[in-house]
Structure formats: structure tokens, C-alpha cells
Chains A and B, each alone.
Chain A
Amino acid sequence: MSNKIRVATTSLAGCFGCHMSFLDIDERMLQLAQVVEFDRSPITDIEHCTNCDIGLIEGGVCNSENVHVLREFRKNCKILVAVGACAINGGLPAMRNFIPLEDCLREAYFDGIGVENAQVPNDPELPLLLDKVHPIHEVVKIDYFLPGCPPSADVFWKFLTDLIEGREPSLPYELVHYD
């Protein structure tokens, strides 16, 4: 059993833009890999997380599966981090909160331009949509927040190196932005 710091990541109602931005730490990823190993993450394809030190959550909560994944992360991560605008305030997906869900589905699957064979997808494997999109701190306790759409690679780097080196994470002015 290695004593590396275990990090899990996931995207809920997000666009994976935050994950892409994380990858923008580029060659610093090699440095990170010296002390960190990835558990559940799109990087590893591990399906469920177990005993992690840090969980990075991108995206808000828009369906029942998001709730289960978020709770799994909370249960298994000592430190849970909201990454990016959508995790923090719902972001772009939350802009559907002003439109009744039925109207959203009708627009997407019946009335939208180019729709063929109009029907609302109802395969039992598809998670049910929630009435509204929620920031993740409304569902579980969140320890840290990294704002940005997406947070820059330097935000990930500063935050993770602070944590790994035993400092209280902090972001200087230049790294705090909401867009």
C-alpha cells in the first residue's frame, strides 16, 4: 500500500472544462504524480472511490445520480472541494432553474429545431432529472471552494501544493475570478 495522497475527481452537471483546466498544469502533473495517486477519476476509470484524502467535484447537482455520486465522495473523501462556477452556484446548467422542467424537456425533445422521432428519453438506466439544479454545498458539506469558469491551472496547482505541503490553502487576488 503506497502512502501517496489519494485524490478522486468527478464531473456532475459540468462540462469537464474544469478537468481540462486541471490538465493544463502540464508537466507539473509529473511532479504531482510523485506524491499523489488518483482514485476514482476520468483519468483512471475507477468506478467508485474509497478512502481518499481529497475529492475534487466539478459541476452542480442536476439529477439523482449526481446526488449519489456526491454522497459517495463525501463519505470517502477527507477533504471535499467544490471546483468551478457550476459546483459553487449551479452555473450555466442552473439557468434552467427559471424554466419549468416540463418546458425544458418539451423544448429539447419535441419543439427544438431538428428534432426527429420526438420523445422524452425514458430508459430506466437514465437518472431522473431534479426539478432544479443545485450548488453542491446545498447537498453535502464542502470544505474548500475553487471559483472560476474554469479555475485556472494555477488555481489547482496552488490549492493542491498548499494542501500537500501542509499549509492552509489560500488563493491570492490574481487567482480569484468567477469567469
Chain B
Amino acid sequence: MSKTITIDGQVVPFEDGQTIMDAATAAGVYIPHLCHHPEYTPHGSCKLCTVKVNGRNCSACTFPALEGQEVLNDTPDLNADRQKITQMLFVEGNHFCPSCEKTGNCQLQGLAYHLNMLDNHFPHFYATRQVDASHPEVMIDHNRCIFCTLCVRASHETDGKDVFGISGRGLNKHLIINSPSGELKDTDISIDDAAVHICPTGAILIKRTGYQIPIGQRIYDHQQIDQVSLAREHHQDEQ
């Protein structure tokens, strides 16, 4: 008899060592997230996967599943918090969707749509951030970076290159490039690297590939991120 937790009353089996997110994904239950990816070590920084475990807030991507946990996930209160967190991400960076190549295929945007986020609520920072277009094939628009560290983890864990890192704290936090000049062109990044393809927003883009999918056929035009995410990550779990 396998061990179980409940998520919003639904019985979900788990194996020792699985996080609540792992168990939920395997059972086809969507928990909102941006910095989590099933292939990489959890980071627990975006806080969108915050769930209530036996009455206390925990990050589902880092918290281990334990026998008998009662988890609340898809509740009005938690989703309201998630909407506020998403709004903070939008005002902290410079996310101008109409001028972004990732629009329609962006997880940050897809999640905001899913949460029915209609405004940004908070005052905008309009922080001055740079664009690194030095590399012939890959570009970085720091305006759109949400510090999820997926590129950092993908570059380290899959590509074995450590092209990216996070430096600074609070308002000064920023993505850094591991090269003597600090520019992408002086790294050994290649277009086939996992780190180039993992960005949930439009911060890391492959040049000359934008706007190829017409409006109406993009990932989040008609499908919600819960379905897209489960289809992608549930499948990865089974592999």
C-alpha cells in the first residue's frame, strides 16, 4: 500500500523522496510555478507554488511529501496571493508584452492569464536593465529576467558549462554572465544548450526566430498553462 497525501481533498500517492510538486505532477494535479522544472534541482524562489500544508505555507517544489499531509492548492486565497506575486514580478522587471518576441509563448504571461491578472496593481519600478546582444545567435534582455535561475541550473546541471550566475541582493540582484568581459559572446554557450531553451520568459532568446507562430496558434492563446504544464511535465515524469 503506497503512501498518500491529499491535495484539495484528492488522494495523491507519493514515494519517499518526492516533493509535493513531484507527487502532484505525477498525479496530474497542477500547482502553479515558474522557477520549478522537473529536470532540475528545486530552487524554491518564485513562491508561486506556495501551498498550505496542514495549515502552514510551504513551497511545494521543495517541501517533501509526507504521509497524511493535507495540502490546499487551488483555493481563492492562495490564487489571490499568487496573483499578487505575479504582479510584483511584472512591476519589478520591464515586461512590455506587445514588444516581446516571447509573447503568447511566455510562461510568466501564461501564468498571469491563468490567474486572471488584469492589472499590475503596484507602482512600476522601471528599473534600468541592459540588453546583451553581443552573441551572434543568442541574446539576453535583462529587462525580462525574473531570477528563476533555470538557466543557471540548466547550464550547470545539463550543459556542464556554468555560463550563468546570479549576483547581488534585493534590488541589485541580477543575472551575470561567466566570461572575462561579462558579455555573452565571450562564453562557450551554444544554441543547442539546454540553458538557451529553458527561460520561462523572453529574457533569453534565440536570434532571428521571433514571431514565427501566428497569433491564435501560440502556446497560451487558447490553452491555459495548467494544461500545457501538465502535458509537458507529467510526460517528462514518466520517461
Contact = CB atoms under 8 A, between A and B. Distances in A.
B90 interface: yes
Given A135-B124, A178-B109, A178-B112, A92 B119 contact: no
Question: Which applies to chain B's interface (DSSP): helix, strand, loop or mixed?
Answer: loop
A162 B114 CA distance: 21
A174 B222 CA distance: 6
Interface in A139-153: 142, 144-147, 149
Nearest to B223: A173
A179 B103 contact: yes
Interface stretch (B9-17, B59-67, B91-99, B178-186): B91-99
B116 interface: yes
A158 interface: no
A59 interface: no
Contacts of A149: 97-98
Contacts of B222: 174
B96 A173 contact: no
B120 interface: yes
Nearest to A85: B98
A171 B116 contact: yes
Given A179-B97, A179-B104, A145 B118 contact: yes
Contacts of B126: 90, 94, 97-98, 132
Nearest to A95: B96
A10 B118 CA distance: 20
A177 B113 contact: yes
B224 interface: yes
B2 interface: no
Nearest to B130: A98
B123 interface: yes
A85 B96 contact: yes
Interface in B119-133: 119-121, 123-124, 126, 128
B118 A171 contact: yes
A89 B104 contact: no
Interface in B54-107: 90-91, 94-100, 103-104
B119 A82 contact: yes
A55 interface: no
A176 B98 contact: no
A30 to B, nearest CB: 28
Contacts of B113: 173, 176-177
A89 B118 contact: no
A88 interface: yes
A178 B103 contact: yes
A174 B215 CA distance: 12
Contacts of A85: 96-98
A61 to B, nearest CB: 12
Q: Which 7 A-B pairs have the closest CB atoms?
A: A178-B97, A145-B119, A149-B98, A97-B126, A145-B118, A179-B103, A179-B98
19 contacts: A85-B97, A88-B119, A90-B124, A92-B96, A92-B98, A95-B99, A144-B118, A145-B118, A145-B119, A171-B116, A171-B118, A176-B113, A176-B116, A177-B113, A178-B98, A178-B103, A178-B109, A179-B103, A179-B215
